[in-house]
Structure formats: C-alpha cells, structure tokens
Structure 1
Amino acid sequence: MSGDTLTIGQLAKRTGVTIRTLRYYDKIGLLLPSDYTEGGHRLYSLDDLLRLQKIQSFIFIGFSLKDIADLLESNCIEEQQLSHSIAF
C-alpha cells in the first residue's frame, strides 16, 4: 500500500463517514475505490477523498444521492468554486 492511498477504515476515520456508508457508496457507484489490495480490500486515492468531501458537502446542502451522482457526472459545477466551498 502506497502512502498516497487510504484503506476504507482510514478514509472513514479521516472523514467521519462510516465504513458501512462507504461500502454503500461503492455499491451504488457514487464513490468507487481507485484500487484494491491483493486480498480484495478497497483502497482510496486522494482524489477519492476529495470526491467524498464533495459528496458530503452536497448532502449537507440537502441534495439526494441520486442528484449528487448526476451533479458529479455532469461536472456542471466549477471545480474551483466547489473546492472553495468545501474549504469554507
């Protein structure tokens, strides 16, 4: 495992999102792991962490998971604006 990847447990701890929720996001295709260990454990990149922060921001605003998936797929929100909002 590289220093640039996080296990599902590390990602959960860093973001406050439960492992169960992360597995659900994987199941519905909202947040897919970037890689897997040889044993099949999920590994998340720093880009995945940023995507999860976006998801959390949209949930906080009140969007449904379906709407969030659509927004992230369409890239209709400027990356810089979203990064600024997440930092705020």
Structure 2
Amino acid sequence: MIMLFVLAQVRTIGVRDSAMQTQPDVKFKVPAKLYRIGEIIRHTPFTRQTIHNYTTMGLIQESDWTEGGHRLYDESVFERLWRIQELRKTKTLSEIRDLFSQEAIGEHMS
C-alpha cells in the first residue's frame, strides 16, 4: 500500500504595487497553515490516539493551541510522521525518541 503524505510549502509571491510603478516587486510570504489532529489523520494512516501518543512522547510537537485548547501542528508534522513510520520498521518508539533527541543536540552544537 502506498502512503501519501501532503507536504505543503511556504510560497513567496511577488506583487507589483500599481500605485507605485517605480517600486520593484514587493515580496511577501503566504502564512503556513496549521493543522488540527482531525486534518492530520485524514491525510495520513495514523489514528487520533497515535498522534496524541506521539505528542506526549515528544516525537512530534504542536506549534500552537486554539482558544478551545486543541493542538495545532505545522506542515513539518507530515514529514516527521513519515520519518517515524519508516524508522518504526527497525526501531522502537523509545529508540526513535532518543535518535531525535541526539539530532536536536547535534543541531544546537553546530
């Protein structure tokens, strides 16, 4: 079975200000979308409980919370979930968490 993960990218869009024809194109970034758990499980093979468990274990991290207390995840969660799925073929969740921790330490030291 082929799993399809949605990986959205932040796009930079150029616009020309018609009132200021002498100004160069103005660039701005389209804001990244934040996803609720329901949206993530619609686009991945993971269950709501798995997303919750991975969050509490520190394998994935929410980016924000709604006013109602729901977790919101940025687009990078899809890549992270795909990576966890691949690593699960040879590693336990604890080993994956340790690997991610070591990678984070390595990033901070470089």
Normalized against structure 2, the TM-score is what?
A: 0.60
Q: Deviations over 1:3-41 (max 9, x none)?
A: 611110111111110001111111222212111111111
Please give the alpha-carbon distance, in whole angstroms, between the structure 1 residues aligned to 2:60 and 2:86: 14
Moved >3 Å (runs of 4+): none
Match of 1:66 among 80, 94, 100: 94
Which amino acid counterpart does residue 53 of structure 1 have in structure 2?
A: W
Structure 2 unpaired stretches of 5+: 1-30, 105-110
Aligned pair partner of 2:64 in 8, 30, 35: 35
Identity of aligned residues (%): 35
**2:81 matches 1:52:** yes
Between structures 1 and 2, the one with greater helix share? 1
Unaligned runs of 5+ in 1: 77-88
Q: Which residue of 2 aligns with 1:84?
A: none
User: What number of residue pairs does the alignment pair up?
Assistant: 74
Larger Rg: 2
**Do residues 75 (structure 1) and 103 (structure 2) align?**
yes
Is 1:10 aligned to 2:10, yes or no?
A: no
Judge conservation of contact 1:34–1:48 (CA < 8 Å) in 2: no
